[in-house]
Every structure is written in C-alpha cells, then in structure tokens.
C-alpha cells in the first residue's frame, strides 16, 4: 500500500466515522501530507520504517522552516504531533502497525500568549471619551467603569443583576465560570457612575421588574456581543490606534493592581482564577514593563544601548 493511500484512508475515516469538523480534517491533512512528503524525500517507502532519528530530523527541518515558507511555533508543532500520533493510532488499529513512533516525542509546551492590556493613561482616555450627555452614554460609562474597577469578564457584566450589587459597601457578587461566586470591590468613581445610571437613566429603558443591571436600548439585557459593539464605537471615538476588546479591561485591571503592589493571590481571588498559574501570566507582563522602563531610564543601560 502506497504512503498516500494510508493518508486517504485515514482522512475518510475522520470524515465518516469520527465525524470531525472540516477544519480539523483539513489541518490534519496538511500536517500529515507534509510529513509524508518529507518521508518520500528521504527515500523511505514504508511508514513502518520510521524511527526516532528520522522524526528528530523532521522536527529540526520544521523548526528551521525548511519544509515550508517559515519556521513554526511550538503551538503549531504540538498540533502537528497530535495529528501524526492520531494517524499512527489509526494505522495500528486497522493496518497492524506495531508501534506509534510519535509517542517517543515529548509533548511540546505551547507558547503562552501574554494578555493584551491598556496603560493607565489609555484607560483614562478611553473612559473619558464616552459621551455622557445621553442615557446610553451614561450606561456605557457605568458599564466600562465597573469592568475596569472589578476585572469582570464580559459575560459576568452582561449577566449582572441588581441584587448582586451592594452599594453601601461597594462590593459586587460575581457569578463566574462554573457558577462559582466571588466578592469583588469597586471604587468610588465606578460607584458614582453606577448610581447615576441606576437612578437617572436605567428606568428609561425598562421598568422596575427587570432584574439585569445593564440593558440595551430595547430594555433587554445587553449581550456580550452588544458590549463589544459599543466598545468598538468608543475605541474609535477615543482616538486610540488599537483594536480594543472587553477582556483587555480585565487584563488591565490585573496588570495595574500588580504594578501597584497587590499580592498575586489577592489578584487571583479577585479574578476568580482557580489556579495561581493562570494569574501568574500577568507577572510576565509587569516584569516586561519593568525591564523596558529600566532600560530606558537607567543611565548605565542607556550608555550600553547607545554605544
């Protein structure tokens, strides 16, 4: 059986038996085809003859960009290995192959993408650019002030009810992922805008029976997509030359707290992260900022960079 025939059989298996999405099948097809083409170039005619040395050579060429137009990331390499491991499991099951050579390869650690955030002055520019002459403008200011003040996810602020806000103590009861609850404070500025929204304009959208805090112009709960749409408009009005998504307010909340000396475990609790490792990604952001500031400000560092 030819090398390409194995691949065709596997792709048919994925599409008909496993019923994978077309995107998954296409991705696996690209990855496995790249490997088979490499095997052919090495003069190997049987997939059973693959050994660790050949796989290491394959990985090296992938990383160096010799099997494509560019080098590949750890994330792409991990997906490539997943496709090939799955392919060999299929060959073991249906074509009596003895072993899966890609089990010998250690799992590739995926690169953690650093969260995007706004600097404090950019947050001020964004919030101050909201036109609060209209009822919707006051709603928008209250909404985004609270998101930045408490680090709420967009889904959490969309689902927020009146009963979850304790104005006297300036605390919001947040219902996060998995219905886990956490208490998060908010500052006086956010409280002022929230009260102005609740007392002055909210009833223009609905009546007292509506439980959700933030409503659209039709008096219904504002959706996550609706919040993104509003933020897109505000971003343009602010003049900030970047694509701003709601989660950036949450990232900014965490980054600014750590920048100003907050304990990592406190930030973990405020964000509702189950594992501390999830919160630690923000320490990379703050340390990178410190290094940049140091390089720009320290005279000895500046001398080295200018020489």
Positions annotated as catalytic residues are 153, 177, 247, 250, 273, 282
| CA neighbor of 172 nearest in space, from 194, 139, 200, 196 | 194
**What is the rounded end-to-end Cα distance, in angstroms, of the chain?**
63
Locate tokens 């223009």: which residue?
204
User: Cβ distance 49 to 126 under 8 Å?
Assistant: no
What is the CA angle 110-111-113, rounded to 5? Answer: 130
Q: In what order do the strands lie in the sheet with 181-185?
A: 165-166, 171-175, 181-185
- CA dist 25 and 15 (Å) reads 7
Q: Single out the residue of 201, 250, 242 nearest to residue 224, CA to CA.
A: 250
Query: How would you write 206-248 as a 3-class SS string?
Result: CCCCCCECCECCCCCECCHHHHHHHHHHHHHHHCCCCCCCCHH
**Of 134, 141, 131, which Cα lies nearest the Cα of 201?**
134
């Amino acid at each position: 059986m030819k090398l390409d025939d194995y691949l065709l059989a596997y792709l048919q298996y994925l599409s008909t038996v496993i019923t994978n999405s077309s995107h998954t099948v296409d991705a696996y097809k690209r990855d496995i085809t790249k490997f088979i083409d490499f095997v052919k170039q090495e003069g190997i005619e049987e997939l059973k003859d693959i050994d660790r040395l050949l796989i290491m050579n394959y990985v090296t060429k992938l990383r160096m960009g010799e099997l494509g137009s560019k080098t590949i990331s750890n994330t792409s390499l991990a997906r490539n290995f997943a496709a090939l491991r799955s392919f060999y499991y299929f060959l073991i099951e249906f074509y009596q192959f003895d072993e899966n050579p890609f089990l010998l390869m250690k799992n590739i650690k995926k690169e953690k993408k650093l969260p995007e955030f706004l600097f404090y002055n950019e947050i001020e520019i964004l919030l101050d650019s909201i036109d609060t002459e209209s009822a919707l403008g006051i709603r928008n200011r209250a909404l985004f002030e609270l998101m930045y003040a408490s680090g709420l996810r967009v889904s959490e602020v969309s689902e927020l009810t009146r009963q979850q806000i304790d104005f006297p103590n300036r605390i919001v009861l947040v219902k996060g992922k998995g219905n886990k609850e956490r208490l998060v404070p908010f500052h006086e500025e956010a409280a002022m805008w929230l009260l102005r929204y609740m007392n002055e304009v909210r009833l223009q959208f609905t009546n007292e029976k509506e439980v959700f805090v933030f409503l659209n112009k039709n008096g219904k709960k504002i959706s996550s997509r609706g919040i993104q749409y509003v933020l897109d408009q505000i971003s343009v009005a602010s003049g900030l030359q970047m694509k701003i998504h709601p989660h950036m307010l949450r990232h900014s909340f965490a980054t600014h707290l750590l920048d100003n000396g907050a304990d990592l475990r406190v930030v973990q609790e405020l964000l509702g992260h189950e594992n501390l490792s999830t919160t630690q990604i923000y320490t990379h952001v703050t340390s990178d900022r410190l290094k940049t500031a140091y390089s720009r400000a320290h005279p000895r560092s500046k001398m080295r960079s200018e020489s």
